[in-house]
Amino acid sequence: MKHPGTNKGPKPKIQNLPKTLKRLGRYLIKRKEKLVWTMIMVLLSSVFALAGPFLIGEAIDDFIVTENKKGLLFLLGGLAIVYIGHSLTLFLQNYWMANIAQKTIYELRTDLFRHFHKLPISFFDKRRHGELMSRVTNDIDNISSTLNSSIIQVASGLLTLGGSVVVMLYLSPLLTVVTLLIIPLMFGGMKWITSRTGPRFKEQQRHLGDLNGFIEEAISSRHIVKMFSREDQIMNEFMEKNEQLREAGYLAQAYSGFIPKLMNLLNNAGFAVIALSGGVLALNGQASVGTIVIFTEYARQFTRPLNDLANQYNTMLSAVAGAERVFDILDTKKAAEGENGKHHVVLGEVAFQNVSFSYEKGKKTLAGVSFHASRGETIALIGPTGSGKTTIINLLSRFYEPDSGAILFDGVNSKSVSGPLLRSQMGFVLQDSVLFEETVLENIRYGRLDASDEEAVEAARLANAHSFIIKLPNGYKTKLSQDGSGISQGQRQLISIARAILANPAILILDEATSNIDTITELHIQEALGRLMQGRTSFVIAHRLNTIRDADQVIRLQNGEIDAIGTYEEIIEQHG
């Protein structure tokens, strides 16, 4: 294990800033009408910001020095209009940009979440769930913050810079040259700092995703942690990852924090130089007092956008780092499940024809598996751990695609049928029942969302679940926790069976549905499963022999190959 804070691997870099910004632009351009109006407000606010100092300089030269009170009052009225207009345009541009940003983020987050559901199961097998959650939350939030502020500040900064240079050249080319001398120093300092902040922000996002994944894993497996008294080890690992995130965040923020300090230093230096040069010019009669006042104010307005642009550059680096992680997911190839395939109504006949499959290249999990299940038959899959039983179920469900061979449903190749449509005609009762943080009724209704309350209750009766449900504090309206705490493992399994009954599938898959269940509850579950399996093609994975006695076929697997196939009695007679 590495010592905390000693991560000396290669620093991740932003791969392609222009490409990422262009992709974000495609989302923004969908709101182009409101974006145009926002940019108009940015333009007007920049004009008002430039007009204020100019009018003040004119007031000094034309009205205060000459003591023209009437003209001064008139000019003050103009200044009031300018500052009111500036405030109003600032409000409108921020209000509209917030609306644009939130709609853009809403669409991006929706696209990302929708894409998650189209990715192959193998994608999630290789990634931590918490790290993926970080992309939907932290990375998207970084993009949101940037869109809310950066676009306006960058546009406003560029306009203010350009306008300031034009007006300063008009007033005094010499003082303008003096002001511009500070720019090379600013850009040199910015380049040195930002070349170090980009990789740091990317590294910070990576460590944040890693920490989120670890926390999610630690919380979800808290019972195991306590069972083996691994609290200290978990805490040490957390502290290591937290330290790595702290170090990455510290370095990113520390480097980026130099920029405003550098800009303020150069800003003040530039202000002093302008004031000194302007004073010399005024004494020599080459510039008026009003011109010097205008110049000092414009000098501040000239360097302030540079400050803002420098600060926004760091914010944008963090957002781009997050956006690249989001687009990395969106660019991941979707599962080839034939969504546009045939609309095949599954009747229940299934055939595996010389099917081979491997999770990792070069490591065969199944090799040349062939069998046939007629409609309504029960097929039991037995064999030691790692023999390929669950893999057959995964291929049957089209969570994975076979490397070779074919899987046929009623004579139709599964690859030509939509994966979601195929699974919608299957029912699943797994070893670990999955419940949602919803009421008991809604958990049952998950099997068929358009089912009525009466149909869901009837499914619970058939699953032998009704008797314990009505004893819950609020009956069918009792809200369950996500992990189903508060009810027993057997009761959770009965709810899962009720869900499958309500779905009314053509093919039923039972994966160790009665494991870790006491004998009395097992009898209730077996009775419910008997009703559920009637008239349906069923695939049963089981280690207990009493769960497969009535199977039409028993397939024994060994090292990814079919070792024996026959009835229960034949398998017992041949292999014991």
Structural class in CATH, domain 30-330: mainly alpha
| Alpha-carbon gap, residue 147 to 197, rounded angstroms | 20
Q: If you write DSSP's letter for every residue of 501-529 in order, what string do you get?
A: HHH--SEEEEESTTTT--HHHHHHHHHHH
Instruction: Identify which of 88-97, 112-121, 263-272 has the greatest average pLDDT.
Output: 88-97
**Straight-line distance from the first to the last Cα atom of the chain, in angstroms, rounded to the nearest whole number:** 47
Residue-wise pLDDT for 346-376, tens only, equals 888 999 999 999 988 878 889 999 999 999 8
Amino acid at the residue 323 = A
Q: Which residue's structure tokens are 């400050």?
A: 307
DSSP reduced 3-state for 417: strand
CATH topology of domain 350-575: Rossmann fold (3.40.50)
CB 418 within 8 A of CB 341: yes
List the domain boundaries for the chain.
30-330, 350-575
Please give the residue that has the higher pLDDT: either 55 or 380.
Answer: 380
CB 34 within 8 A of CB 96: yes
Please give the residue that has the higher pLDDT: either 447 or 302.
Answer: 447
Please give the residue that has the higher pLDDT: either 77 or 372.
Answer: 372
Q: Which residue's structure tokens are 């314990």?
A: 468
Is pLDDT of 2 > 70? no
Residue-wise pLDDT for 42-51, tens only, equals 999 888 888 8
Across residues 145-156, what is the average pLDDT? 82
Across residues 208-225, what is the average pLDDT? 77
CB 97 within 8 A of CB 375: no
Amino acid at the residue 9 = G
Whole-number pLDDT of residue 427: 87
DSSP reduced 3-state for 571: helix
Nearest to 209 by CA among 235, 236, 248: 248
Nearest to 302 by CA among 266, 347, 253, 346: 266
Q: If you write DSSP's letter for every residue of 227-289 in order, what string do you get?
A: HTT-HHHHHHHHHHHHHHHHHHHHHHHHHHHHHHHHHHHHHHHHHHHHHHHHHHHHHTTSS-H
Which of the four pLDDT bands, split at 50, 70 and 90, describes residue 218?
confident
| Pair of tokens at residue 364 | 């065969």
Is pLDDT of 223 > 70? no
| Alpha-carbon gap, residue 439 to 455, rounded angstroms | 16
Please give the residue that has the higher pLDDT: either 519 or 208.
Answer: 208
CB 307 within 8 A of CB 187: no
Is pLDDT of 10 > 70? no
CB 401 within 8 A of CB 415: yes
Angle between helices 69-116 and 17-28 (to 10 degrees): 100
| Pair of tokens at residue 486 | 């508060």
Instruction: Determine what percent of the chain is predicted with pLDDT higher than 90.
Output: 11
Q: What are phi and psi of 363, to 5 degrees?
A: -120, 95
DSSP reduced 3-state for 343: coil
Whole-number pLDDT of residue 1: 35
CB 551 within 8 A of CB 381: no
| Alpha-carbon gap, residue 166 to 173, rounded angstroms | 10
Average pLDDT, the chain: 80
